[in-house]
Amino acid sequence: MNDKRTPRHGFAAKHIPLILAVVFFLIISFGLASVLRENLRVAPRRDTAENGRLYAHMKNTTRFSGTLETVRSDIRRAVLLEDSPQPGDETTPWQDVITGAISVSEPVRHVVVLPSEGGSALAWSLPGAYWAIYSGSPVVFAGTDSLDAGALARIREYGAPAFVAAPESLLSDRALGQIRAVVQARRVAKGSLAAQAVHLAEFRDPDSGFGWGRTHDSRNGYFEYVVTTPRESGYALAAFPLSKSNAAALLYASDDGSLPGVTDRYLWKQRADFYVTPAEGPFRHLWVVGNRISYASQARMDHALEKGPYPSYGTTAFGPMEGLLVVFMAWGIASGIFVLVHSTRALPHVPLGMRIAWISTATLVPVLGILLYFAAYRRPQPASSSPHPEFIRPPSIQSAAATVMGFGYGAPVMIVIAFLFLYFGLPLFYGEWAEGWRFLFGAGMPIMMFVMWAGAILLAWPLAQFPMHLALMPGMKRRKLLKRTFVITAVSMTAVSLGMMTTAWWMQMYKLPMMPGEDEILFFGAMWLASFIGFLIAWPLNYPLVRTGLKMGGV
């Protein structure tokens, strides 16, 4: 009879845990792929998001668009200067508009040198001009290869360090040399207009006071920016007053309405974090001027500047806690791959179900999982009468191996159940009966936790523990084995749950601003960490199970 049963049991022991593992792997991979997809896509709903909008303002971006004259008028109205003199008309040279906007502050601490020749000179000049208008710094215009005598004389007269906000193509080293012959001079330039604007927004020379100094580390400033495209430089000129009234620096989008990577990255780094509530400040704000920047780009900028809690920086952004958890998960994945390769090559005689359990344990228990794996398989039993290979292990490692048998299946099951709950939505009941403590019976979170616990037992028991033990103990009666494996699985999963649920609750209550969605890295990171703690709690609790012979620790 045994001869007939063994092959079938061997098949079950080998394939059911494997199928279970593959299903878990696929679901968790789907979840992690969703996380990546959600974070990398820029504006998947761009086709419908603008439908029916009545105004273009958003919570972190104010938009001025229309004709240049309209925008100029709107800006003047915005800073409440209806009665002030009109700026130069279209025929006024832009150099004169810039110098006319500056009220030089005394004493002069630095001079801003801007390019004046070439088709792109205006666009290159504007970021520096915004700073000069805000700070009251004198501006001197230079030709591509030289400065005229008057310009050099003014620089000499100011006697302050000069900052050349132009690339070599617009203001050559020869011209820079002329300035250096008069005063200390430094070129502050990057290779593209967008990069140049970001560079000036971040740059700060503390000695001369030149530059906005708005780096990622300037956490508490209420920074504002004017954003336009190089081809709409006239709009940036019209928005000059905002550099004074709102201390706004200038940033560039691309002429096709998209956001260059350098601007996009800078804005994300400008997302403010809060420690207590988002009401605490600071906030950041953009003034989008012109017609070329697309709605999708504006919405992305608006989203980029949305305040987020310190640990995660909010949705889409990447916060410090997410960074730590990603490192933790990466170690786990590397550990799992290592055990997969090593066990396949070095331990092919160990039952497949056990190897799968070690692989998933090493994945969820980074580094420690590998150490335990090596400790467990270091010394094979030389003369074992058992139908399967056994290994000599100290009691603590036997406990670890016994824990792995349950944890390796139960923990992934719990993660998958939690993922599916969040994916499809938690159930919720709140009838008239929901008074006193009874309301918890209708609450989604406790229901999910209960199902995670029960599901781990009810799935891991018949699909992993029972077939695996059947293969390891073919002589044992099926009914007895069913009962035994149920007790083993229930005790083991309760121990794992104790650590997992407590950690997940602690993360939720004290470390995460709110319950993460199933497409957020925080969900997987928190579950990963909770699994690790679950293993640490379950390990010592498995010791008495091994000592009493209820669980096997030598496989």
Partner 1 sequence: MRLWMILLLAVGPACGGTAQKAESPAERPAAEATATAYTTRLPAADPETQAIVLAQTVYGATREENSPGAIILCPQTPALAFTAMNRITHMPVNAPLLYMTPQGDVSEATLREMERLKPEGVSQDGKVQVYVIGDPEEKTSDKVRERLKYTVRRFGTVNAITLSDMLDRWAAAMKADHPDEVVVSAFDHPEGIAHGMGAMGWNAHMGKGFAWVYTNSIPEETRKILDRRYGRDGAYIYLTGGAEVISHTVAEELSRYGLVRRIAGPDVYATNAVNAGYKDFGSNFGWWWGWMARDFGWGLSQAGHNFIIASSEDLLGAIPSALLGHMGKHGPILLVGRDDVPPPVSDYLEMVRPFVSGPSHTIRNHAWIVGDESRISWEAQKTIHRLLTPNGLNTAGIAGM
Q: Which of residues 238-297 bind partner 1 (CB under 8 A)?
A: 240-242, 244-247, 255-261, 264-265, 268-269, 277-279, 281-283, 285, 291-297
Instruction: Give me the least distance between CB of 45 and partner 1, in Å please.
Output: 5
Instruction: Give me the least distance between CB of 170 and partner 1, in Å please.
Output: 25
CB 172 within 8 A of CB 119: no
Task: List the interface residues with partner 1, window 416-455 (CB under 8 A).
Answer: 422, 424-431, 434-436, 439-440, 442-446
Instruction: Give me the least distance between CB of 522 and partner 1, in Å please.
Output: 13
Q: Which amino acid is at 462?
A: P
* Total interface residues for partner 1 by CB under 8 A: 132
- Residue 197 or residue 402: which is nearer to partner 1 going by CB? 197
Task: List the interface residues with partner 1, window 124-163 (CB under 8 A).
Answer: 133-136
Q: Dig out the tokens for 512 from the structure.
A: 């995460």
Task: List the interface residues with partner 1, window 21-40 (CB under 8 A).
Answer: 38-40
- Residue 305 or residue 491: which is nearer to partner 1 going by CB? 305
Instruction: Give me the least distance between CB of 297 and partner 1, in Å please.
Output: 5
Instruction: Give me the least distance between CB of 441 and partner 1, in Å please.
Output: 9
Q: Rounded CA gap, 279 and 287, in Å?
A: 21
Task: List the interface residues with partner 1, window 301-330 (CB under 8 A).
Answer: 302-303, 306-307, 313, 315-320, 322-323, 326
Q: Rounded CA gap, 321 and 329, in Å?
A: 12
Instruction: Based on the shown chain and the rule CB under 8 A, indicate whether residue 220 belongs to the binding site for partner 1.
Output: yes
Numbers of helices and strands, H then E, in the chain: 20, 10
Please enumerate in sequence order all residues whose Cβ is within 8 A of that of 248, keeping only pairs 6 or more positions apart, or say none.
Answer: 130, 134, 224, 225, 226, 239, 242, 287
Task: List the interface residues with partner 1, window 45-74 (CB under 8 A).
Answer: 45-46, 48-60, 62-67, 74
Q: Dig out the tokens for 219 from the structure.
A: 């956490």
Q: Rounded CA gap, 441 and 316, in Å?
A: 33
Task: List the interface residues with partner 1, window 377-396 (CB under 8 A).
Answer: none
Task: List the interface residues with partner 1, window 102-121 (CB under 8 A).
Answer: 102-103
Instruction: Give me the least distance between CB of 231 and partner 1, in Å please.
Output: 10
Please report the beta strands in 296-343, taking only residues with DSSP state E, as ranges in sequence order.
308-309
- Residue 427 or residue 544: which is nearer to partner 1 going by CB? 427
Instruction: Give me the least distance between CB of 454 and partner 1, in Å please.
Output: 18
**3-class DSSP string for 198-234:** HHHHHCCECCCCECCCCCCCCCCCCCEEEEECHHHHH
Residue with tokens 């061997």: 10
Closest CA to 14 of 341, 408, 349, 392: 349
Among 1, 149, 383, 514, binds partner 1 (CB under 8 A): 514
Instruction: Give me the least distance between CB of 137 and partner 1, in Å please.
Output: 11
Left if phi > 0, otherwise alpha if psi is -120 to 50, otherwise beta: which for 294? beta
